C-alpha cells in the first residue's frame, strides 16, 4: 500500500515546491535597464524619393473623395462618410480633389477653394482634405525651409521664424476666411503649425 501512494505523495511535494518557487518575489536588481539603439539608415533607404509629400494615385484619391461626399458629387443616395481625411497631399493634388465638390452649403465652392490652395504652392508642407460633417482642410506649415513641399533637397534648410510663420498664417486666414468664407480657422493646440479650416453646412 505504501508503494501505491508514494508516487502521489512525491507528485504533491513537487507541485507544492514548484508553486512555492513561483510565489517568491523577483529580485528587483535583476530587472534589465531600458536601452535605446539608433541605427542610421543608408542613403539607399530614401532612393527614389524625389518629392515631398509623395504623390498619391490621383484616380484612387478621386474615388475616395467621391465616395466620401456621396450625394453631393455622385448625385446618388445610399453611401457617404461624414468623417474622413485624405493622406498628405501636395497643393496641386489637393486642389484637384477639392474641385470634385462643386459646392457644399452656401459658402464652400470647390473651384474657388482650389485656387486658394494653389496660392500657397511651395510655401506649405502639405494639405489634407476631407469632411468633418462638411468640408475641412488641414494645412501643415513647415518649421524649416527643406520641409516645404516640392523636390527633396539634401541637408537641412533654414529655420522659419515664428514671425515669418505668423505672417503666413495671417495670409491663410485672409484667403480662406475673408475671401472664401470658411467658418472656422484655428491652429492645433499642440502642433501650432497645423492649421484647420472648416466650412459650415
Task: Give SS3 for 17.
Answer: helix
In a domain, 14, yes or no: no
In a domain, 95, yes or no: yes
SS3 sequence of 39-92: CCCCHHHHCCCCEECCCCCHHHHHHHHHHHHCHHHHCCCCCCCCEEECCCECHH
Residues 6+ apart with CB under 8 A from 127: 88, 89, 90, 91, 94, 117, 137, 138, 139, 140
In a domain, 175, yes or no: yes
In a domain, 75, yes or no: yes
| pLDDT, averaged in runs of 10, over the chain (201 residues) | 44 46 57 75 64 95 93 78 96 98 94 98 98 97 96 87 98 98 97 97 79
In a domain, 99, yes or no: yes
Is residue 136 a contact partner of residue 130, using CB atoms and an 8 Å limit? yes
How many domains is the chain partitioned into structurally?
1
Q: 5 — phi, psi (to 5°)?
A: -85, -15
pLDDT of residue 28: 57
CA 118 to chain centroid: 21
pLDDT of residue 130: 97
Which domain, by its residues, includes 190? 55-198
Is residue 134 a contact partner of residue 70, using CB atoms and an 8 Å limit? no
pLDDT of residue 27: 63
pLDDT of residue 96: 98
Task: Give SS3 for 171.
Answer: helix
In a domain, 11, yes or no: no
Amino acid at each position: 500500500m505504501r508503494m501505491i501512494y508514494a508516487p502521489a505523495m512525491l507528485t504533491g511535494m513537487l507541485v507544492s515546491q514548484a508553486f512555492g518557487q513561483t510565489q517568491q518575489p523577483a529580485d528587483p536588481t535583476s530587472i534589465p535597464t531600458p536601452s535605446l539603439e539608433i541605427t542610421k539608415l543608408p542613403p539607399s533607404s530614401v532612393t527614389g524619393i524625389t518629392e515631398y509629400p509623395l504623390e498619391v494615385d490621383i484616380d484612387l484619391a478621386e474615388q475616395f473623395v467621391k465616395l466620401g461626399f456621396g450625394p453631393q458629387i455622385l448625385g446618388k443616395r445610399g453611401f457617404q462618410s461624414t468623417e474622413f481625411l485624405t493622406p498628405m497631399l501636395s497643393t496641386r493634388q489637393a486642389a484637384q480633389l477639392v474641385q470634385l465638390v462643386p459646392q457644399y452649403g452656401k459658402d464652400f465652392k470647390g473651384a474657388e477653394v482650389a485656387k486658394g490652395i494653389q496660392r500657397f504652392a511651395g510655401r506649405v508642407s502639405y494639405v489634407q482634405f476631407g469632411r468633418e460633417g462638411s468640408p475641412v482642410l488641414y494645412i501643415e506649415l513647415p518649421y524649416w525651409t527643406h520641409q516645404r513641399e516640392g523636390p527633396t533637397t539634401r541637408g537641412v534648410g533654414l529655420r522659419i521664424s515664428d514671425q515669418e510663420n505668423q505672417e503666413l498664417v495671417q495670409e491663410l486666414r485672409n484667403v480662406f476666411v475673408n475671401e472664401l468664407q470658411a467658418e472656422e480657422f484655428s491652429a492645433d493646440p499642440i502642433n501650432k503649425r497645423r492649421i484647420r479650416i472648416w466650412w459650415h453646412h
